[in-house]
Structure 1
């Protein structure tokens, strides 16, 4: 889920380009980052107050950790409802399905709920639950297991979601090699959404801008720049070729040639992705000349 920028750049200061605004949802408490909640809350508040705040989405939290999050937010003064302090913006991640939705919304009362990400094995059932329980001003994304999105399954799920107000969600990585889809599989999802005008978010494995092989694990990681550039494609072969590109120079040049209209189309499709590091993607963009170094975390410079 993406977050509307809340901290405008000061006059004369470098601004986050529209292509990257609200792109990076803060998944610091999830693997492989696994930052303790008590540390993640003040770190997130620091991100939201930094010069690069316009790039940062909400703090993502699983349903089972909302009590822990409330305690940490209260300690940081981020649950105030009387205007005396910031109110933490949270994205609810519900891996247990629709049964978690009602209790999670209740437990999230101390926060501003910026969105819901609901995992399910039945898209129809998930849409019905969201229609029943979700406040109308809260966006949601629906994730199905990748094994159910192969063949005709992908078409069926996307057709269900395109007739709803909800986005799709796709898992692009994890802590095992099998959690990473290859170019053809990811291209099928991206182009299926593009053909329908269906927005989506991604999660896991996209910490870096450019496709690469992790030297420590040997896992093949997609690059978030690859995904951004492939987001407007409706042809699976063309999308797969973009996803396979490993040259940061090539991808950066392609980004620089995007028109304002193309940027709008891309971001209306690919709305956000969860990353356990906010610093890594910003540092990558700065290294490629796509973001001012002033818009990267100070401690990394």
Structure 2
């Protein structure tokens, strides 16, 4: 039995880590990101890896590198038609489209332009009226996308704000992905910046409830051992429900999340 056959990625983490290596703070050049992504797809942890995320402005360079795998196309507001035209000839698995002020108009644009078989996640602007956006997405077949970090302190939503988003999605049975600031498993304070980072294990557990107070409590937990114990107690049905809700998150590092899971005893690694 080879190493790939011997190692099994648990269902809770399968397809969880979208490869955002070319985005900040990683900023890996495409010429390095493409072979690195191929290596992830050939490694023991391949089942945990989602698509390589690519900005529309880098597609010409990406095409020259002949990736040979499906990508996630990241598109700014009002650029969907341009992006889809630029992506012709590439294997696009999903589009991540930043909504404007009118989320229903964004949904209508996706309905009109998105090719059959291509999924979409609509990034909602962070605002007190985020539930209007959730209402617009409910029942459309598109995922919501929410930003959980960035390069400045204001890019990190509070526990209360994020719990409201998660619970709002759960109430509408609306699947979602998150992006930025989540490459570590457990909530922590970054010693270099002082920013409060959410943990992806916290989010996975919070995805299993529609109770806002309980979601906030889970998001605030900083004890990795306690989170690991909670994860190990999940039933197969609970894991399936969590992953129907929280589908993936973008991370500029695939290695760091895996290392954190191994450190917590939640993942067997070579």
Q: Structure 2 length as normaliser, TM-score?
A: 0.96
Residue 57 of structure 2 aligns to a residue in which SS?
helix
Counterpart of 1:272? Answer: 248
Counterpart of 1:21? Answer: 14
Q: Deviations over 1:134-158 (max 9, x none)?
A: 01211101112202xx1xx222111
Question: Does the 8 Å CA contact 2:184/2:260 hold for their aligned counterparts?
Answer: yes
- Give the unaligned 5+ runs of structure 1: 1-8, 79-86, 295-301
Q: Which of 18, 43, 49 is the equivalent residue of 2:42?
A: 49
Does 126-135 or 106-115 show the bigger shift? 106-115
Q: Which of 93, 102, 111 is the equivalent residue of 2:74?
A: 93
**Does 1:32 pair with 2:25?**
yes
Question: Does the 8 Å CA contact 2:122/2:145 hold for their aligned counterparts?
Answer: yes
Q: How many residues in Structure 1 have an aligned counterpart in Structure 2?
A: 268
Distance 2:174 2:37 in 1: 29
Quote how far apart the aligned CAs of 1:10 are. 4.6
Counterpart of 1:238? Answer: 214
Distance 1:275 1:28 in 2: 7
Counterpart of 1:129? Answer: 109
- Give the unaligned 5+ runs of structure 2: none
Counterpart of 1:65? Answer: 58
Question: Does the 8 Å CA contact 2:7/2:269 hold for their aligned counterparts?
Answer: no
**Does 1:109 pair with 2:78?**
no
Distance 1:49 1:107 in 2: 28
Q: Which runs of 4+ in 1 moved over 4 A?
A: none
**Does 1:227 pair with 2:203?**
yes
Distance 1:181 1:223 in 2: 12
Q: Deviations over 1:26-49 (max 9, x none)?
A: 000000000011110000111011
Distance 1:42 1:10 in 2: 19
Distance 2:136 2:174 in 1: 11
Counterpart of 1:186? Answer: 162
Q: Structure 1 length as normaliser, TM-score?
A: 0.87
Question: Does the 8 Å CA contact 2:4/2:43 hold for their aligned counterparts?
Answer: no
**Does 1:284 pair with 2:263?**
no
Residue 79 of structure 2 aligns to a residue in which SS?
helix
Question: Does the 8 Å CA contact 2:147/2:155 hold for their aligned counterparts?
Answer: yes
**Does 1:120 pair with 2:99?**
yes
Quote how far apart the aligned CAs of 1:91 are. 0.2
Quote how far apart the aligned CAs of 1:14 are. 1.5
Does 28-37 or 138-147 show the bigger shift? 138-147
Residue 241 of structure 2 aligns to a residue in which SS?
helix
